[in-house]
């Protein structure tokens, strides 16, 4: 799985470099197609190897890929106006419910709230400090000196 993600990342990065080096879009498009073909070939090799090595992981990969394709198609149909938002939601709901472990997510919510409250507190302190700097710029210099000498 990681190899596939790395290959896709490499493809995107190399496409960016290709564009920077060669401003002719046709050449870039050809290179992009060739890269996609290479990625597809590597994916097929990986899946063939995975199927032999771990059939259950292979099956899980196929199921996950199929679900992602279904979600992508529903979203695309909504964006193209083929279905309404409510229809899209009703089609997506069962896919998303299977994907998200609501119980464990709820158990982590208190920790997330605490972390966000701490971030808000730090941001509010920073805003207060900046307001003080605006009215008294010498405080900025004093705080900078304190930071240097910590």
Model confidence pLDDT, tens digit, residues 60-117: 888 888 989 999 999 999 999 999 999 999 999 998 888 887 778 888 899 999 999 9
Which two tokens mark 44?
């097929």
Give yes or no for a contact between 45 and 58, defined as CB atoms under 8 angstroms apart. no
- pTM across the whole model: 0.48
pLDDT for residue 39 is more than 80: yes
What confidence score (pLDDT) does residue 84 get? Answer: 95
- What number of H helices and E strands is found in the chain? 6, 0
Indicate the average pLDDT of the chain.
Answer: 86
In the block, which residue shows the tokens 């060739």?
34
């Amino acid at each position: 799985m990681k190899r596939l993600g790395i290959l896709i990342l490499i493809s995107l990065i190399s496409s960016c470099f290709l564009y920077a080096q060669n401003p002719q879009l046709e050449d870039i498009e050809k290179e992009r197609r060739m890269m996609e073909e290479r990625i597809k070939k590597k994916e097929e090799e990986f899946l063939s190897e995975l199927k032999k090595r771990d059939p259950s992981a292979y099956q899980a990969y196929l199921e996950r890929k199929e679900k992602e394709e279904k979600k992508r198609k529903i979203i695309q149909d909504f964006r193209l106006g083929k279905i309404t938002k409510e229809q899209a939601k009703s089609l997506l709901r069962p896919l998303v419910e299977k994907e998200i472990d609501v119980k464990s997510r709820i158990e982590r919510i208190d920790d997330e709230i605490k972390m966000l409250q701490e971030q808000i507190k730090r941001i509010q302190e920073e805003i207060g400090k900046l307001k003080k700097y605006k009215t008294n710029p010498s405080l900025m210099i004093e705080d900078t000196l304190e930071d240097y000498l910590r």
